[in-house]
Structure 1
Amino acid sequence: MKKTLLASAVAATLAATSVQAATIAQTDTAKVDMYGRINLMLENNDGDNAIKNNTSRIGFRASDKINEDLTAFARAEFRFSADERQESKNGDPVFNDLRNTYVGLQGGFGKVTVGNFDSLYYQAVSNVADLFENKGFRALNKGDSNARGDTIAFETADLGGMQFGLSAKHAPETDASDEAFGLQAYGQFTMVDNLTLAIAFDQNIEELDGGADSDPIIGASATYKMDALKASLLIESSGDFMHIAAGGSYTYGPGDVYGLVSMMDDGNESGLDLAIGANYKLSRAFRTYGEFAMGNDKNNEDYTLGDKSVMTVGMRYDW
């Protein structure tokens, strides 16, 4: 059976967040791991310098083998600012961002996940442009839109090089809107070795946070891998918005070189963002990186760098 891109992406993400994950509890059928990341950077944002935290986090992942064909799993992940001392004051927590938190079941039928997690649209399509530690990545759905909370998803197992998924996020009834469910769906296809195509749909209803535009999002991606080289193409549309991005990465031994060209058109203005970066891995857990991103957009800055440049130098340690 060929592994689909989504399965590969999920496996790579889990590996990246648990390079040296510590097992803190284990039985014959159950296991609990603890993992984390400290990521600090020096950012020059259009001439303004600052030392910043960059998505540092700590998390716990658990699994329980119920029988030969059914496994329960759970995850809880918290972000914190690692660049300065923090104290919990006035109700403000030190762990100030609850990230992936979900439970589910997985077996020969596929996988069911309930809770707070990246959108299926991102996992299937837009993640191909997510190459950077800091600035450079943009998409009409970057994972947070119409997801990350009150969501249930079903994904099939690998069907001979094909995989499909469907999710629904619940929007409760309010004084301003009726109860609703925002749907997302994807299909991925490994046509030949090293080439994967995907298409995804996000209903993007106005009742959900991030869905104010209320125009459905449709995206397609293609990824080709050949030895140390990986190239990808992303095409998206939503109402008047059209986004096209082409990127790639090359593993040169102890590190990677990567870059992205991204064009966004909102129906009135269009702009081109460029970004390049490289990292050097001193070990499996520790890396340094340098990145440069530049934009010349005048359109909606929710999706762009605007007319500025950002330079980043950082260090990251995963366990």
Structure 2
Amino acid sequence: MKKTLLALAVAAASVSTAASAATIYKDDTSTLNMGGRVEVRANFSDANKTAADDNQYKDASRIRLNIGGEQKLNEDISFIGFTEFEVTEDQSDATNTDDALFNTRYLYAGVTSQTYGALTYGHQDNAFTYLTNFTDMAEVFSGYINEYNVATSDRANNVLRYAFNTEKLTIQASVQGDSDSDGTAVTQNADGFGVIGSYKFTDNLEFGLGYAQTDANGVGLDTTSTGDNNTYTAALRYSKDGILLAATYLGGTISVADGSAAESDFNGADAYAGYTFGDNNVNMTYNYYNADDSAFNALNVNNINIEYARYFGNATVYGAYSFNLLSDSDATATGNVLALGDASTEDQFQVGFRYAF
């Protein structure tokens, strides 16, 4: 993330999705913001090799564009809308190298009140995202373990979310109908809900709990029988003098419901330890996810990562190395290290340059 966002997080402040946007129109009642980023990224790993290409290098560059607006009804109530799209280059076919792939990251609208909170609907963060963002703070290699339940993933479509916060207390709840999120088949065609509560004991220490449930199934089709994905979480964040320490635990059940089993228990953990000094940030992250049923081995995650980032205003340069701790028996290597659900036993090294506007 940008240095400005990281500094806000270290101060345990609330970070807006459009925090980097520039105001392109404003009058007494309306504001229109626009922003985005151009980010070139290179990933190096033996997991990038395929039968047809013996190359460790994989390009992971992307562009994000967003626009959002607010119109005041009165001093307390405003109407809001926001959308963001991500564009990447289609490299699936050598004959289509100039084609672009588009992904909707956000597309929502709603109403917000300084007294009663915000109610929004569309493609947006789940309630769970508030807690999983405690540890999803690195430029790369953080925030993996919550993506296997559509109600706990960072973003999903068809989400109705309510958010309320005071100086100390944050409460959020979200519900989904026939909802999808980026990731694996277990996050498609799902109905569900999630609820979280978080409390700041001091300006430096915050603790939260959450629960989510969906009816997703292992093959991603709502025409088959479905099982329950149940997830509960506990998250802790401490920040002071440039130090940010955070930990998130997830546990529960993930449904198979495709003939191999009814469901499987799982455990997951994220940890982040970072230090910001001047225009620099160094951090270490840990990601762990394991389901008891071997049918979910492709989802397993177990890695330790180190990262350094340097910020130059709107520009950022970073590098990160991931030490993969998975054994061959705990993973299903598929040769696509950047795709969720394609677990690999290989290490990774990734470098990137981002310009935000």
Aligned length, in residue pairs:
296
CA contact (8 A) 2:145 2:269 kept: no
TM-score by length of structure 1 reads 0.81
Matched, 1:35 2:27: no
The aligned counterpart of 1:227 is: 241
State the Cα distance separating 1:244 from its structure 2 match: 2.1
CA contact (8 A) 1:296 1:305 kept: no
- Please give the alpha-carbon distance, in whole angstroms, between the structure 2 residues aligned to 1:303 and 1:127: 21
State the Cα distance separating 1:31 from its structure 2 match: 1.1
Long gaps (5+) in structure 2: 1-8, 48-54, 180-188, 254-264, 295-299, 333-339
Long gaps (5+) in structure 1: 173-178
- Please give the alpha-carbon distance, in whole angstroms, between the structure 1 residues aligned to 2:143 and 2:306: 11
- 203, 206, 212: which is aligned to 1:193? 203
With over 3 angstroms needed to count, the CA separation of the structure-2 counterparts of 1:9 and 1:310, relative to structure 1, is farther
Deviations along 1:263-293, whole A, 9 cap, x unmatched?
Answer: 33322688631111111112x2001000011
The aligned counterpart of 1:176 is: none
The aligned counterpart of 1:70 is: 77
State the Cα distance separating 1:8 from its structure 2 match: 5.4
Query: Which amino acid letter does the alignment assign opposite residue 299 of structure 1?
Result: D
- 237, 257, 277: which is aligned to 2:251? 237
- Please give the alpha-carbon distance, in whole angstroms, between the structure 1 residues aligned to 2:325 and 2:211: 28
SS in 2 for 1:315: strand
The aligned counterpart of 1:311 is: 349
Deviations along 1:216-273, whole A, 9 cap, x unmatched?
Answer: 0111100000110000111110222111222211002112111112333322688631
- Please give the alpha-carbon distance, in whole angstroms, between the structure 2 residues aligned to 1:313 and 1:243: 26
Give me the identity figure in percent.
20
Deviations along 1:95-144, whole A, 9 cap, x unmatched?
Answer: 61111110011111011011111221122x22222133333432133796
Matched, 1:299 2:306: no
SS in 1 for 2:330: coil
State the Cα distance separating 1:82 from its structure 2 match: 6.3
CA contact (8 A) 1:199 1:221 kept: yes
CA contact (8 A) 2:66 2:83 kept: yes
TM-score by length of structure 2 reads 0.73
With over 3 angstroms needed to count, the CA separation of the structure-2 counterparts of 1:306 and 1:82, relative to structure 1, is closer
Deviations along 1:137-190, whole A, 9 cap, x unmatched?
Answer: 3213379656521111111231x5112111111129xxxxxx984111000111
- 149, 159, 173: which is aligned to 2:157? 149
Query: Which amino acid letter does the alignment assign opposite residue 321 of structure 2?
Result: F
With over 3 angstroms needed to count, the CA separation of the structure-2 counterparts of 1:72 and 1:104, relative to structure 1, is same
- 87, 99, 108: which is aligned to 2:105? 99
With over 3 angstroms needed to count, the CA separation of the structure-2 counterparts of 1:82 and 1:279, relative to structure 1, is farther
Query: Which amino acid letter does the alignment assign opposite residue 249 of structure 1?
Result: G
State the Cα distance separating 1:51 from its structure 2 match: 5.3
Query: Which amino acid letter does the alignment assign opposite residue 305 of structure 2?
Result: A
- Please give the alpha-carbon distance, in whole angstroms, between the structure 2 residues aligned to 1:157 and 1:277: 32
SS in 2 for 1:166: strand
The aligned counterpart of 1:11 is: 15
Equivalent positions of 1:132-147 (< 5 A) are: 132-141=138-147
SS in 1 for 2:145: coil
Query: Which amino acid letter does the alignment assign opposite residue 289 of structure 1?
Result: Y
With over 3 angstroms needed to count, the CA separation of the structure-2 counterparts of 1:98 and 1:210, relative to structure 1, is farther
Query: Which amino acid letter does the alignment assign opposite residue 39 of structure 1?
Result: E
CA RMSD, 1 decimal: 3.2
The aligned counterpart of 2:310 is: 280
The aligned counterpart of 2:23 is: 23
Query: Which amino acid letter does the alignment assign opposite residue 352 of structure 2?
Result: G
CA contact (8 A) 1:106 1:112 kept: yes
CA contact (8 A) 2:90 2:100 kept: no
